[in-house]
Structure 1
Amino acid sequence: MAFESSLLRLLDERGYIHQATDGAALDALAARGPVTGYIGFDATAPSLHVGSLVQIMMLRRMQQAGHRPIVLMGGGTTKVGDPSGKDESRKMLTDADIDANIASIRKVFERFLDFGAKDAQGRPSGAILVNNADWLEPLHYIELLRTVGPHFTINRMMTFDSVRLRLEREQPLTFLEFNYMILQAYDFRELARREGCRLQLGGSDQWGNIVNGIELARRMDGAELFGLTTPLITTADGGKMGKTARGAIWLNADQLSPYDYWQFWRNTADADVGKFLRLFTDLDLQTIAKLEELEGQAINEAKVALANAATAMLHGEEAARTAEETARKAFAEGAAGGDLPTVAAGDEGIGIVAALVALGFAASNKEARRGIDQGAVRLDGEKVGDPHAIARPGARVSFGAKKHGLVVAA
């Protein structure tokens, strides 16, 4: 459909929209003036990873279109655990762990959102970060169940993917986790009351949870709320966004270096470059269209543009320039023959064991694996502990203190 509001047009043309509850009404609401919308993030680790980046970018797009984003940190729901997409229960964290994680995660949001913005009258209008522990912790559980529980049926809850898929796989689903969707629905109602929030955004796996919140607010308060979800972001080979053989691509610099973050984007598959440019950078669509026209080796220019833009947004322009220059020098040394041996690989990369053998650093796969077990192998300076790790073009492979080589594009 053709959208009237700048918000939904922006989200649509960049590829963020999968489903919306009453899209026409939401479009009309957004066209009339600023809308407040939120996305929730649980604080299970000191950093979010790149799999959460599309949601962070959705909040950024809201603010770019003149609307007000809310970052909801799940200080309360982190203690319960969202079963969506999970086969196992998460480990329990202490209050101190959760508070420390939230403080660490906030640093990333400060890179993407303006928390200090003010309107023409000087009133605060920027993004805000709230913690659902503020209203969930004081609740008496029996009182909550008596007030909110009658609006949910077990029959319907059993139909949601987050519950049904876990049970179909015969994986345990605790009663604690089963309550997560009730608490998330309560969050939406509470934000509507406290902050005038009318919109919840999220991934496609959150559709059921979002609809629950809309229905709860309608039944209890007569409020009209809306939901909008993004498609599941996968790579061209069907893999999950951000899942690599080397582990999660963390957003905090103390969890993953800016150079490794830059390399992650630089190693994007050819077929994903255009999509990722639209989703994860602020480059205008005309520029992106020109980059998408590049073919053959020239498409590497588009990948560098993606890596620079994504890295600059998170870590700053200087970090992006430094990462690009480091990679350029590494390639130059390899191309010139220099002192560094090279091994060629396609976009899919090469297994670290095979790379060590091909570079002559190990005489056999067994020796390569032994070096990994002993902590002697590094990729771009990071110790490799997984013999199945993948080294992609641009990566520097080290074995011990003196053996260094480069993976170059085939």
Structure 2
Amino acid sequence: MLSSEQNRAIAEQSNDPSFPNIWQELKWRGLVHVSTDESELEELLAGEPITYYCGFDPTAPSLHLGNLVQLLNMRRLQLAGHRPLGLVGGSTGLIGDPRQTAERVLNTPETVNEWVNILQGQVGRFLSFEGPSAARMVNNLDWTAPMSAIDFLREIGKHFRVGTMIKKDIVAARLNSDEGISYTEFSYQILQGMDYLQLFRDYGCVLQTGGSDQWGNLTSGTDLIRKVEGTSVHAYGTPLITNSDGTKFGKSEGNAIWLDPAMCSAYAFYQFWLNTADADVVDRLKVFTFMTRERIEALAAAVAERPFAREAQRALAYEVTTLVHGQRATENVIAASGALFGQGALEDLDEVTLKAATAELPGATVASDALGIVDLLVASGLSDSKSAARRVVSEGGAYVNNRKIADAGEVLGSNDLLHGRYLLVRRGKKHLAMVEVAG
């Protein structure tokens, strides 16, 4: 069930009317890397509403930024009047699509089922389930679980040729590696092909979208439908997104950027986008926001003329964080960023936002009877010694919760604690530490 804020945000989204059709907008945004017949696809998407789908496998308890590309892509097609099917793979999640490097560790059915429920909720936040183009959630376990292995081999497997299957890029890479590939993962493309066939039969689905690294799996479905039903359907793949410096997009310090705030806080999420390089920010605006071409081109000009202002990065961070975490969380994050350096009231920050905003700061835990300003500066590592701490105070450089401390003998009390246990200690303008009071 979507919140009123989520429903309102979805209702306010729109495609850019300056494009003649959705296909041209998708291409301008850089969302089409590979496809079946392009002219037919453009005509199809410019015509009467169609049903399309994109699949998400529950291989983790949250979706990530790579999935967000697909979610926003689905929403753009829905805004063009087409009907989305959000597939969360209860069966394919038990198998796992082949990775470039090594075999996946198989999760238990109970874990996969739990993650299916979580991911369905995440997918549902980005689509509208009302009106003529209402979205529908589907789970491929519903049609694979009742099927016996014999039925699967006879009805589906017979339409696949091993010679074709081993030519798929990821399969070929794994076959040529020391790890090899198991029959389990080798069969993944058959399962995904069967998904498309089932959705074609049940809902008249004629388009599948996904990442270009999944192109072999996408075309397994188009080929299967052509063989079994004698008709042509379509697929297109979005490009893999990389940073201009060659590093992998969607990771911060080696960790994936997840959509679940428990795995990546709204503050960390916002900061990730705020740190986007000038060379990448315009492309990110195209892919990850609903901003119009006119607005993005204006921000591109700002990057060229006033890069120090980071106007495009701030707009990007605000828009994407709002899409994923909501406007209230985004505004809390912005307030936290300012409050850390005295441009707002720390007392107004909720505890989750405060902890996220200070997570990367030096920290210390002190006893409740050791709250003298000198002790705090030393314990937090902001001063090397008590004499150095007294000098910081005398020179006017000591702050607690953004309040200047003028007396080296001052002892903080319980009324000074943020959320009953935190103190933000600052030396000068830039040196911060978070102190937690025990007991």
Please state which band the TM-score falls in when normalised by the shorter chain.
0.7 to 0.9
Does the CA-based 8 Å contact 2:250-2:256 persist in structure 1?
yes
Aligned length: 340
The residue aligned with 1:312 is 322
The residue aligned with 1:336 is none
Q: Distance in 2 between matches of 1:6 and 1:60?
A: 15
The equivalent position to 1:101 in structure 2, one of 112, 115, 130, is 115
Q: Residue 191 in 1 paired to residue 204 in 2?
A: no
Q: CA deviation at 1:321?
A: 1.2
The equivalent position to 1:230 in structure 2, one of 206, 229, 238, is 238
Equivalences for residues 399-410 of structure 1 within 5 A: 401=436
Q: CA deviation at 1:146?
A: 1.6
The equivalent position to 2:334 in structure 1, one of 324, 334, 337, is 324
Q: CA deviation at 1:246?
A: 5.0
Q: CA deviation at 1:108?
A: 2.1
Give the partner amino acid of 2:239.
Answer: P
Does the CA-based 8 Å contact 1:291-1:299 persist in structure 2?
no
Q: Residue 81 in 1 paired to residue 91 in 2?
A: no
Q: Distance in 2 between matches of 1:294 and 1:10?
A: 22
Deviations 1:367-404 (A, max 9, x none): xxxxxxxxxxxxxxxxxxxxxxxxxxxx99757649xx
Equivalences for residues 44-123 of structure 1 within 5 A: 44-83=59-98, 85-115=99-129, 117-119=130-132
Q: Distance in 2 between matches of 1:399 and 1:171?
A: 46
Q: Residue 301 in 1 paired to residue 311 in 2?
A: yes
Equivalences for residues 19-38 of structure 1 within 5 A: 19-38=34-53
- Do the aligned partners of residues 332 and 168 (structure 1) sit closer, same or farther apart at CA in structure 2, a change above 3 Å counting? farther
- Do the aligned partners of residues 146 and 179 (structure 1) sit closer, same or farther apart at CA in structure 2, a change above 3 Å counting? same
Q: Distance in 1 between matches of 2:252 and 2:245?
A: 12
Deviations 1:150-204 (A, max 9, x none): 2212211111111111222322311111100011111111110011100010111
Does the CA-based 8 Å contact 2:194-2:224 persist in structure 1?
yes
Does the CA-based 8 Å contact 1:108-1:314 persist in structure 2?
no
Look up the SS of the partner of 1:198 in the other structure: strand
Does the CA-based 8 Å contact 2:75-2:126 persist in structure 1?
yes
Comparing 16-25 and 241-250, the one that deviates more: 241-250
Does the CA-based 8 Å contact 2:252-2:272 persist in structure 1?
no
The residue aligned with 1:146 is 154
Equivalences for residues 350-389 of structure 1 within 5 A: none
The residue aligned with 2:9 is none
Q: Distance in 1 between matches of 2:248 and 2:46?
A: 34
- Do the aligned partners of residues 235 and 38 (structure 1) sit closer, same or farther apart at CA in structure 2, a change above 3 Å counting? same
Q: TM-score, structure 1 length as denominator?
A: 0.77
Q: Distance in 1 between matches of 2:36 and 2:283?
A: 24
Q: CA deviation at 1:147?
A: 1.9
The equivalent position to 2:262 in structure 1, one of 243, 254, 263, is 254
- Do the aligned partners of residues 236 and 299 (structure 1) sit closer, same or farther apart at CA in structure 2, a change above 3 Å counting? farther
Does the CA-based 8 Å contact 2:382-2:431 persist in structure 1?
no
Give the partner amino acid of 1:104.
Answer: I
The equivalent position to 1:285 in structure 2, one of 290, 293, 299, is 293
The residue aligned with 1:156 is 164
Q: CA deviation at 1:7?
A: 2.4
Q: TM-score, structure 2 length as denominator?
A: 0.72
Look up the SS of the partner of 2:242 in the other structure: coil
Equivalences for residues 200-279 of structure 1 within 5 A: 200-279=208-287
- Do the aligned partners of residues 400 and 318 (structure 1) sit closer, same or farther apart at CA in structure 2, a change above 3 Å counting? closer
Does the CA-based 8 Å contact 2:209-2:235 persist in structure 1?
yes
- In structure 1, stretches of 5+ residues that fail to align are 120-124, 334-350, 354-358, 364-394, 403-410
Look up the SS of the partner of 1:112 in the other structure: coil
Comparing 72-81 and 295-304, the one that deviates more: 295-304
Q: CA deviation at 1:24?
A: 1.1
Does the CA-based 8 Å contact 1:73-1:131 persist in structure 2?
yes
Look up the SS of the partner of 1:38 in the other structure: strand
Look up the SS of the partner of 2:189 in the other structure: helix
Q: Distance in 1 between matches of 2:307 and 2:238?
A: 32
- In structure 2, stretches of 5+ residues that fail to align are 1-18, 344-359, 363-379, 385-429
The residue aligned with 1:166 is 174
Q: CA deviation at 1:97?
A: 1.3
Q: Residue 16 in 1 paired to residue 31 in 2?
A: yes
Q: Distance in 2 between matches of 1:324 and 1:128?
A: 35
- Do the aligned partners of residues 273 and 168 (structure 1) sit closer, same or farther apart at CA in structure 2, a change above 3 Å counting? same
- Do the aligned partners of residues 147 and 106 (structure 1) sit closer, same or farther apart at CA in structure 2, a change above 3 Å counting? closer
Does the CA-based 8 Å contact 2:88-2:120 persist in structure 1?
no
